[in-house]
Amino acid sequence: MIIAIDVMGGDNAPDSVLKGVGKALNETKSKLLLVGNEEIIKKDISKYCNKLDRIDIRHTSETIDNDDKPVQAVRRKKDSSMVVALEMLRKKEVSAVISAGNTGALLTGSLLKVGRIKGIDRPALAPIYPTKRGFSLLIDAGANVDCKPRNLLEFAIMGSIYLENVLNVNKPKVGIVNIGTEEGKGNKLVSEAYEILKESNLNFVGNIEARDIPSGIVDVIVCDGFVGNVILKLTEGVAMGISTMLKEQLVKNFVRKIAALTLKNGLKDFKSKLDYTEYGGAPLLGVKGAVIKAHGSSDAKAIKNAIKYGEVFARNNVIESIEKEIVRIGADSIE
């Protein structure tokens, strides 16, 4: 199996990406195809990697930046590391693509180059959401800001299959984010989606309130991409806010300062629980290939984990399972 890595994408590229590749060689079995500027890669790769026999380079001359407009970038920068990697995925020359680059461009590029699974109207981004119990999958986290009820069913199906096939969750519990738990609650979108999910053969447990998300009340958190994006970013903001306030409190006087030092390890354990880099990125579900969007500010560990999960994603028939399920429920004929 060959995994293509967009070496030029991400805030800390290409350094963190190459470091991550070095780490990933120890925890994966695939060949890693480094897509990017050959000169830069060759200069640094031996610093970080000791298993050069499992590495190949595909030179590209362009880079998509964070402020590039997605559609334009994908259309014009044909020799960019991201577009070339996606083209190779389309031709099945590689089995997965990992990129920490421009999210919009990766979504657009995946749709235009790799294409949707038949019957999937809206591919979605599905990051891991760390919870008290472990983790949930949040789908959609921002790929689709205006959704139809049917899209939420797609999200629920794809999320369930990914959790089962990649993260070994048995019969994932699915819930729709709503303003109350009773049937009939919420806006038009979610109340109609409830009716559809109720009839599905997913492990649908009904509506969940945002208050219960951090406790891990369900495995698949289903929502439209606008709400999902708010959930993801607000969680980050609240956690950061609390952490800052705690720090301020802790340095308020000397005794507390001592206490704070003592607590350092405790806080470290706690932080690692909330650490997104553990799961290394979000799969883009619904396109005909394994695409993993690593966080823009990914460090080496995040890249390493993204590659690791990308390998499992490609190996464990996620896409085939989604295709089969879509055919089974007869949604492959919907245009």
Which residues in this chain contact a second copy in the complex, by CB under 8 A?
131-132, 142, 145-146, 177, 179, 186-188, 190, 209-215, 224-227, 229-242, 244-246, 249-250, 252, 255-256, 258-260, 262-263, 266-267, 269-270, 273
Closer by beta carbon to a second copy, 113 or else 173: 173
Pick between residue 31 and residue 69 the one whose CB is nearest to a second copy.
69
Minimum distance of a second copy from residue 186's CB (angstroms): 6
CB of 188 to a second copy, least distance (A): 6
Nearer to a second copy, 29 or 211 (CB): 211
**C-alpha to C-alpha distance for 21 and 306, rounded to whole angstroms:** 10
Amino acid occupying residue 239: A
By beta-carbon proximity to a second copy, the closer residue of 270 and 317 is 270
**CA 72 → CA 85, 172, 287, distances in Å?**
17, 38, 20
| Nearest approach, Cβ of residue 248 and a second copy (Å) | 8
User: Residue 280, exposed/middle/buried by CB under 10 A (0-12, 13-18, 19+)?
Assistant: buried
* Closest to 4 (Cα-Cα) out of 114, 112, 64, 86: 86
CA distance 68 to 54: 32
Q: Do the bridges between strand 55-59 and strand 135-139 make them parallel or antiparallel, or are there none, so unpaired?
A: unpaired
H/E stretch holding 25 reads helix 15-27
Burial of 111 (0-12, 13-18, 19+ CB in 10 A): buried
Nearest-approach distance from CB 128 to a second copy, in angstroms: 15
With respect to a second copy, which residue has the nearer C-beta, 115 or 216? Answer: 216
Query: 185 with 191: CB under 8 angstroms?
Result: yes
Nearer to a second copy, 186 or 310 (CB): 186
Least Cβ distance, residue 76 to a second copy (angstroms): 20
- Least distance (Å) between residue 144 CB and a second copy: 9
Q: How far is CA 167 from CA 92, 127, 303, 312, in A?
A: 24, 12, 18, 9
Name the amino acid, one letter, at 266: G
Q: Smallest gap, in angstroms, from Cβ of residue 155 to a second copy?
A: 16
Question: How far apart, in whole angstroms, are the C-alpha atoms of residue 175 and residue 194?
Answer: 9
Which pair of tokens denotes residue 306?
Answer: 């993204």
Output the six-digit token pair for 195: 């009716």
Query: Residue 252 or residue 324: which is nearer to a second copy going by CB?
Result: 252
Nearer to a second copy, 210 or 331 (CB): 210
Question: CB-wise, 110 or 131, nearer to a second copy?
Answer: 131
Minimum CB–partner distance for residue 260 and a second copy (Å): 8
Handedness of CA 147, 133, 276, 74 (dihedral sign): negative
Contact 149, 193 (CB under 8 A): yes
Q: Prior bond to 14 cis, omega within 30?
A: yes
Query: Shortest Cβ distance from residue 78 to a second copy (Å)?
Result: 25
Quick count: other Cβ atoms within 10 Å of Cβ 242? 10
